[in-house]
Amino acid sequence: MKPKEKKPEIVYRIINKESGEAQGSYSHAYLSRGAYCDEFDFNSVSEARAANCHGLFEDRDKYKIAKYKITYELIEDDCAE
């Protein structure tokens, strides 16, 4: 999912088991601001596992897939600096 896309309620992330950190996958989708990006959120476990064309995330000993519920909480309605 691209950074500016509205996220669904549930997303999946690739987690490096050794570091515990979310692992991004390089995206070839060109963003409007003229750059490529790493994607961190995926629509399904299979989409996350297949995110790397070399099958890197299929290694279940090294990577796990975590499921997240996305919620938005309005903290301030009209922010001023």
Match 């692992």 to its residue by tokens.
23
**What's the pTM?**
0.74
Written as six digits, the tokens of 39 are 């994607």
In a domain, 63, yes or no: yes
Predicted local confidence at residue 27, as pLDDT: 73
- Cα Rg of the chain, angstroms: 15
In a domain, 53, yes or no: yes
Q: How far apart are CA 28 and CA 56, in angstroms?
A: 17
Predicted local confidence at residue 72, as pLDDT: 83
Q: How many domains does the chain have?
A: 1
Predicted local confidence at residue 30, as pLDDT: 53
For residue 53, the 8-state DSSP code is: T
pLDDT in tens, the chain (81 residues): 555 667 788 999 999 999 999 998 887 655 555 556 788 999 999 999 999 888 899 999 999 999 999 888 899 999 987
Contact 37, 51 (CB under 8 A): no
Q: Which helix H or strand E contains 25, and what residues bound it?
A: strand 25-27
Domain ranges, residue 22: 10-69
In a domain, 17, yes or no: yes
Predicted local confidence at residue 44, as pLDDT: 95
